């Protein structure tokens, strides 16, 4: 039985994992960099230990330091979350060698799926459909030419060590192949220290649909249905939902079984995700497998009613799966919006800084997985995602209308966020009518980035409060940075009262 888990991560996912630990009555150990001393995961855990300076290379990626804290704290397992060391086979090996449980798959499964050419070979051998293309690393330019004559154009060149869009090149004409190949190789070599490149036929307007699977240490597997992740910007997911509007019960069963076959091929243990590209004719192709818990796992949790982090922990301590495939059913609909501290009007430049005022949405079917609080300073060192807003509804329409309502309730003052951009997507006719694929944002960029000239009702409310605040500060000859020094402003209630008073006068 696991009694104490070290969470080798920060931010919302560290909180998410600690919550499941608490429900399982397992002690939690946080680790933190110097700049994260006042971060929420540090306050939330039962114990917390410093692991070094702010840059993640010196803290959250420092394997030895994390293992030292595990030993010192008496943890018996490590949960890596997502990002950082979560898909690092060497770290999983070191955790095992230290006599600890790694909450995730075997290092060998991480390694196989991390190398995309090896993964493709493994999938082909297991009868999992992959995008037509190479089975081996491209060893010569002649070979590349021969392959494109077989698969046809256009093709995509991808780095074997890549994934998630890094080091990709799209080739439409044979005469561009050599230059693209050299560029892809050189980019991959610099970025990953591995210049192996492979070729896939280009799927023109695909959907990105991924299946969540769980596997235990006894060879049992189930899938928990799919997530539709086609709304992306520069290979960053923006919105995820489950179920996918494209899915049929028959296709779900078939792709679910294919996802399980993919997991079985690497003796996968724990929670994992099989990514597929799906074309307009509903042909589907294995893209890659993510051997970790994913950012968007909550949409699956909402529609199947299973706590994925809890299942990960129970699997890691050797228990058999708590569910058979026939126990799993998707009910209702869930949508997730990723909220970033970025300025959508300035090409999504990061907008780090202090959260001055924060009001989270509540009410029926609303879940907020975040880690920020009023007064918290968002550091520049890590991912700018500050919150995930998830809404659940009886059907897609209700989940979307709930999301619009929840986004309207959300107030974040002090940093710019992607909330206005997310509202535009949720209100977009093509999104609402299920007419979208991976090109959604670029296709409707005009509408999605249009500046609004008429303030919305909810914004008028804020404008009134802000006008009153500015006047108040001018009267006191103070600046916004000094508000925390003004005794009255230590009370959010007084602030709220002032706002009501202002509103009653307009
Ligand atoms: C593709 C593709 C079309 N054909 N591969 C982008 C991220 C990486 N995971 C794989 N990606 C793609 N691979 C073939 N053979 C189109 C994309 C792609 C994409 C995939 C999912 C979501 C958004 C995307 C946006 C552009 C391109």
From the CA of 232, give the closest atom in ligand 1.
Answer: 23
Residue 224 parent element (H or E): strand 221-233
Q: Quick one: what percent of the chain has pLDDT higher than 70?
A: 93
Give pLDDT tens digits for 253-265.
Answer: 999 999 999 999 9
Task: Name the burial class of residue 427, with classes exposed (0-12), middle (13-18) and buried (19+) by CB atoms within 10 angstroms of its CB.
Answer: middle
The upper half-sphere exposure of residue 487, i.e. CA atoms within 13 Å in the direction of its Cβ, equals 0
Measure CA 134 to chain center: 29
Distance CA 215, CA 266 (A): 11
Distance CA 334, CA 344 (A): 24
Q: Cβ distance 318 to 270 under 8 Å?
A: no
The residue with tokens 């006047």 is 471
User: Quick one: pLDDT at residue 162?
Assistant: 87
* Mean pLDDT for back-to-back runs of 10 residues, the chain (506 residues): 98 98 98 98 98 98 98 98 98 98 98 97 98 92 93 96 85 96 93 95 97 98 98 96 98 98 98 97 97 98 98 98 98 98 94 94 98 97 98 98 98 96 98 96 94 65 78 78 62 57 55
Count CB neighbours of 187 within 10 A: 19
CA distance to 198, 203, 211, 338, 465, per residue, from 157 (Å): 6, 12, 24, 29, 53
The Å distance, Cα 244 to ligand 1 centre, comes to 17
User: Quick one: pLDDT at residue 414?
Assistant: 94
Cα Dmax for the chain: 77
**Ligand 1 in reach of 156 Cβ (< 6 A):** yes
Residues 6+ apart with CB under 8 A from 53: 33, 34, 59
Q: Which residues are identified as catalytic?
A: 292
- For residue 419, give the nearest of 377, 467, 358, 475 by alpha carbon: 358
| Substitution candidate for ligand 1 out of 158, 167, 206 with most atoms within 8 A of CB | 206
Ligand 1: residue whose CA is nearest its atom 26: 438
Distance CA 283, CA 279 (A): 5
From the CA of 275, give the closest atom in ligand 1.
Answer: 9
pTM above threshold 0.85: yes
User: Quick one: pLDDT at residue 87?
Assistant: 98
Residues 6+ apart with CB under 8 A from 357: 374, 411, 412, 413, 414, 492, 495
Tell me whether strands 77-79 and 101-102 are parallel, antiparallel or unpaired: parallel
Distance CA 74, CA 17 (A): 18
> Is the peptide bond preceding residue 263 cis, with omega within 30 degrees of 0?
no
Distance CA 73, CA 446 (A): 53
Measure CA 200 to chain center: 25
From the CA of 164, give the closest atom in ligand 1.
Answer: 9
Two structure tokens written together for 279: 């074309």
């Amino acid at each position: 039985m696991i009694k104490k888990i070290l969470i080798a991560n920060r931010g919302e996912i560290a909180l998410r994992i600690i919550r499941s630990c608490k429900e399982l009555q397992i002690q939690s150990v946080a680790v933190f960099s110097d700049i994260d001393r006042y971060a929420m995961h540090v306050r939330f855990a039962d114990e917390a230990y410093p692991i070094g300076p702010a840059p993640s290379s010196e803290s959250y990626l420092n394997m030895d330091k994390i293992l030292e804290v595990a030993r010192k704290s008496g943890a018996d397992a490590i949960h890596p979350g997502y990002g950082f060391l979560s898909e690092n086979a060497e770290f999983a090996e070191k955790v095992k060698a230290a006599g600890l449980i790694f909450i995730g798959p075997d290092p060998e499964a991480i390694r196989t799926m991390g190398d995309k050419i090896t993964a493709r070979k493994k999938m082909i051998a297991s009868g999992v459909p992959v995008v037509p293309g190479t089975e081996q690393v491209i060893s010569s330019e002649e070979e590349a030419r021969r392959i494109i004559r077989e698969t046809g154009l256009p093709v995509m060149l991808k780095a074997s060590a890549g994934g998630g869009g890094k080091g990709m090149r799209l080739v439409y004409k044979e005469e561009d192949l050599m230059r693209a190949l050299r560029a892809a190789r050189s980019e991959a070599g610099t970025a990953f220290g591995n210049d192996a490149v492979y070729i896939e036929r280009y799927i023109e307007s695909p959907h990105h649909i991924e299946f969540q699977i769980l596997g235990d240490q006894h060879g049992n597997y189930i899938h928990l249905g799919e997530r539709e992740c086609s709304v992306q910007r520069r290979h960053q997911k923006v919105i995820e939902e489950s179920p996918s509007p494209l899915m049929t019960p028959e296709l779900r069963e078939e792709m679910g079984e294919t996802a399980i076959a993919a997991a079985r091929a690497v003796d996968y243990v724990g929670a994992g995700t099989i990514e597929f590209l799906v074309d307009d004719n509903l042909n589907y192709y294995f893209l890659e497998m993510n051997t970790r818990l994913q950012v968007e796992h909550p949409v699956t949790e909402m529609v199947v009613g299973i706590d994925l982090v809890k299942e990960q922990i129970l699997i890691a301590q050797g228990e058999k799966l708590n569910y058979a495939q026939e126990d799993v059913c998707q009910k209702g609909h869930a949508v997730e919006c990723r909220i970033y501290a970025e300025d959508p009007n300035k090409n999504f430049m990061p907008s780090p800084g202090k959260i001055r005022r924060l009001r989270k949405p509540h009410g029926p079917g609303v879940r907020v997985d975040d880690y920020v609080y009023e007064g918290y300073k968002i550091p520049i060192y890590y991912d700018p995602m500050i919150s995930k807003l998830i809404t659940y509804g009886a059907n897609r329409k209700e989940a979307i209308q709930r999301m619009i309502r929840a986004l309207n309730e959300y107030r974040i003052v002090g940093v710019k966020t992607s909330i206005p951009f997310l509202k535009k997507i949720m209100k977009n006719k093509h999104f609402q009518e299920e007419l979208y694929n991976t090109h959604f944002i670029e296709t409707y960029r005009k509408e999605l980035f249009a500046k609004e000239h008429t303030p919305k009702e909810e914004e008028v409310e804020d404008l009134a409060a802000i006008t009153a605040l500015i006047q108040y500060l001018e009267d006191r000859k103070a600046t916004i940075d000094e508000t925390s020094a003004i005794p009255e402003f230590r009370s959010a209630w007084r602030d709220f009262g002032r706002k009501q008073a202002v509103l009653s006068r307009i």
